[in-house]
Amino acid sequence: MNAFDAVVIGGGPGGSVFAARLAALGRSVVVLERAHHPRFHLGESLLPASVGVLDAIGVLDEVRDTFMTKRGARFVEGAGGPAAREARYAFAEAFSARWDHAFQVPRDRFDELLLRRAGACGAEVREGWEVTRVAFDGGRAAGVEARSEDGTSHSIAARVVVDASGRDAVLARAGRSVERIAHLDRTALFSQFRGTWRDAGDREGDIQIVVFGDGDGRGWFWLIPFRDGRTSVGAVVSSAWIRARQRLGGAGALFEAAVEDAPTVAWMLEGAECIMAPGATADFSFRVGSMCGDGWLIVGDAGGFIDPLFSTGAHLAMHGAFTGADAVHAALDTGGVSPPRFESWEREVRAGSSLFTGVVQAFYSGDLIPQIFADPQHPFLRRSITSLLSGDVFGDALWVREMRTRFPPQV
């Protein structure tokens, strides 16, 4: 049996974008996705800097026709109710605003759209297939062992193995190269509502980020509006906050406690209908030691996840997958699918991730919050924050260097 050019583990945004791009370049690709789409997933707010990827793989028109347009991000103080202090950042004000908007996407529909696009581009898509291990030949990845839906085991040979397995991080965890990110031990409590408060006009699709508490009790809410009237609502809280409320019990009681800590959110939810029982996911921030090796590459959350604060997960996954597919395509032409061929790719992806990490840590330490709500606010700082929120973090612009200096990541 002939080997595929690439076998992709996982059919989320990273895996699907990688497969769509590489297949469109004429390579043979198979995607092995454990679940069946559509399936629920958090991370529903996209960034403008991802829009170019959607355009390049040919799904932008469908995304625009299907999902809510997002033109900005609004930060609100949680203690103030309807009169809370706020700061809105419009993406059109970024330093390099090629795209002045993004989209709010229920991930069941969005992820399925991307996976189907990978198939339309020529990738073979197999849902209900679970990868049990990556097969190595002399230290080089040579394919995977996988179990199909009927329980049968299969060996699939490939010239390159791409791990897009999300937080399962198949390759990194097998190699014990996963480590926690300092000061980001957080838990997300999440639900969905219908009938929440929304801004009006072009601002209706804004993500609302409501900040509450301080010190170890600092947390924040997201409110992400969908076109069909639903709103994704979630709170991100510290481990210390959770420990102080262990007596409350499950996710529902903890979610209610977080709402009580943020009167602004209580006001936004007044009269709204809860349409999904609250859930929780904990300890999601991590980094990995290496994102490439002999015959393998890691894209998306499988290469590390920071925090949902700036909606970075899907953005880093799609950007890294698209550019990673180009790097693999070039490497396959020479037969050299090895780390030196991917050094510049990994360096770029890590640089963007590192910038986000430093700024997120500064948010939780309290150093960033006064800058977000500053009034008056220096125009350069305002445009820098807007550019960060837009996801434009992969270059070496002056504002990027300034933010790296001001908010270096903490080890």
Residue 401: both structure tokens together: 């260097």
Rounded Cα–Cα distance for residues 310 and 296 (Å): 28
What residues are paired with 88 via a beta bridge? 74
Report CA torsion sign: 364, 167, 316, 104: negative
- The predicted-structure confidence for 383-396, as pLDDT tens digits, reads as follows 999 999 999 999 89
Q: What number of H helices and E strands is found in the chain?
A: 13, 20
Regions of the chain with pLDDT less than 50: none
CATH 3.30.9.100 occupies which residues in the chain? 69-99+186-282
Report CA torsion sign: 174, 176, 179, 185: positive
Q: Would you state the pLDDT for residue 284?
A: 73
Q: Would you state the pLDDT for residue 175?
A: 87
Is 185 in a helix, a strand, or coil?
coil
Give, as one character, the DSSP assignment of residue 3: P
Give, as one character, the DSSP assignment of residue 181: P
Task: State the burial class of residue 151 (Cβ atoms within 10 Å of its Cβ: 0-12, 13-18, 19+).
Answer: exposed
Is 283 in a helix, a strand, or coil?
coil
Q: Would you state the pLDDT for residue 83?
A: 77
Q: Would you state the pLDDT for residue 160?
A: 97
Of 223, 202, 224, 231, the residue nearest 92 (C-alpha)? 202
Q: Would you state the pLDDT for residue 262?
A: 96
CATH of 69-99+186-282, one of 3.30.70.360, 1.20.210.10, 3.30.9.100, 3.90.550.10: 3.30.9.100
Task: State the burial class of residue 119 (Cβ atoms within 10 Å of its Cβ: 0-12, 13-18, 19+).
Answer: middle
Give the CA angle between residues 309, 117, 40 to the nearest 5°.
Answer: 45
CATH 3.50.50.60 occupies which residues in the chain? 4-67+105-178+286-406
Q: Compute CA distances 108 → 49, 160, 251, whole Å.
A: 21, 28, 22
* DSSP character string of 259-315: HHH-HHHHHHHTTPEEEEEEEEEE---EEES-SEETTEEE-GGGGEE--GGGTHHHH
What's the CATH fold of domain 4-67+105-178+286-406? FAD/NAD(P)-binding domain (3.50.50)
Q: How long, in residues, is the chain? A: 411
Distance of CA 92 to the CA centre of its chain: 22
Q: Would you state the pLDDT for residue 1?
A: 54
